[in-house]
Amino acid sequence: MNLQESGQMYLETILILSGENKNVRSIDVCEHMGFSKPSVSRAVGLLKSGGYITVDKDGYITLTQVGRALAQKIYDRHKVLTEFLISLGVDEEVASADACKIEHHISDESFEAIKRALQE
């Protein structure tokens, strides 16, 4: 993952929004994340130039194959880590917020160990 945490968050948000509504635009990302239009516009430009997304002439954002794979990896980590923390007795809202912080920094090895522990 060469993308910084903020870029990963944008990809994850685009993935989530595209699951709810096929057509995702920058304004949808702004509303979902609570960020300003200029911030989202800059991030969208960086993600586009990095090959993670495409933006059509109408402003609709689509994840590229690389972008979708990375977004799915981050989102899967979020779901598994949230489930793991809840299984330890952490409140669901707190677990989700903490999972969001952990998902970008945890090693593949540690993450796989947590997945195995949950399956047992």
CATH at 95:
1.10.60.10
15 with 65, same domain? Answer: yes
| Nearest by Cα to 12 from 56, 72, 58 | 72
User: Beta strands 60-63 and 24-25: pairing type?
Assistant: antiparallel
Q: Could you tell me where the DSSP H helices lie in 1-120?
A: 5-20, 26-33, 37-49, 65-87, 92-102, 108-119
In tens, the pLDDT along 17-74 reads 998 777 899 999 999 999 999 999 999 999 999 999 999 999 999 999 999 999 999 9
Residues 29 and 52 in one domain: yes
Same domain, yes or no: 10 and 45: yes
Cα–Cα distance, 46 to 90 (Å, whole number): 36
Give me the CATH number covering residue 64: 1.10.10.10
Q: What DSSP state is assigned to residue 25?
A: E
CA atoms of 69 and 75, how far apart (whole Å): 10
pTM score of the predicted model: 0.85
